[in-house]
Amino acid sequence: MILRGSLREATKAPPTVYKTVGGQRFFDDLVDRFYDAVEGDPLLRPMYPRDLRRSRERLAGFLAQYWGGPPRYSEERGHPRLRMRHMPFAIGPAERDAWMAHMAASLDVATLADGTGRPLPAEVRAAMFDHFDNAATHLINQTGA
């Protein structure tokens, strides 16, 4: 009996980042902070539509799915195809750095969406930062002059 319990415990999947951070609300809050900053950014703002509601919904849905949440983004939009979806926009190192600055600042003040106000676990924040850093770099499609 003890062995069975131990095996059961050993084969339990660890919680996803989505569950750890408190689900969809965390990603909605993160993306809202990010887009609030983008709205005032003279470099990034022209790349986005006038009304940012759909942009907010799409990014929050994508991130929630990526980090272990329900596949709503793919059900609505299909495969993410991030590079293809961003090709119409001139993204160079300056745009990448501005995007990362806003996302890093949003992560820095992010708290778990469980009502406690506790900050993100350091390992979750680091994993998310690394993902954003790599993805933003991958989307560069313009080189410096």
Domain assignment present for 6:
no
Contact 73, 65 (CB under 8 A): yes
For residue 121 the two structure tokens come to 């676990």
Domain assignment present for 8:
no
Contact 24, 68 (CB under 8 A): no
Question: What span, in angstroms and rounded, lies between the C-alpha atoms of 79 and 97?
Answer: 26
Q: Which domain holds residue 23?
A: 18-138
Q: What is the pLDDT along the chain (145 residues), one digit of tens a residue?
A: 444 444 455 556 778 999 999 999 999 999 999 999 999 999 999 999 999 999 999 999 999 999 999 999 999 998 888 889 888 999 999 999 999 999 999 999 999 999 999 999 999 999 999 999 999 999 999 986 5
The reported pLDDT for the residue numbered 3 is 46
Look at the chain and report how many structural domains it folds into: 1
Domain assignment present for 134:
yes
Domain assignment present for 1:
no
CATH label of the domain that carries residue 115:
1.10.490.10
Per-residue pLDDT of 100-115, as tens digits, reads 999 999 999 999 999 9
Question: What span, in angstroms and rounded, lies between the C-alpha atoms of 28 and 56?
Answer: 8
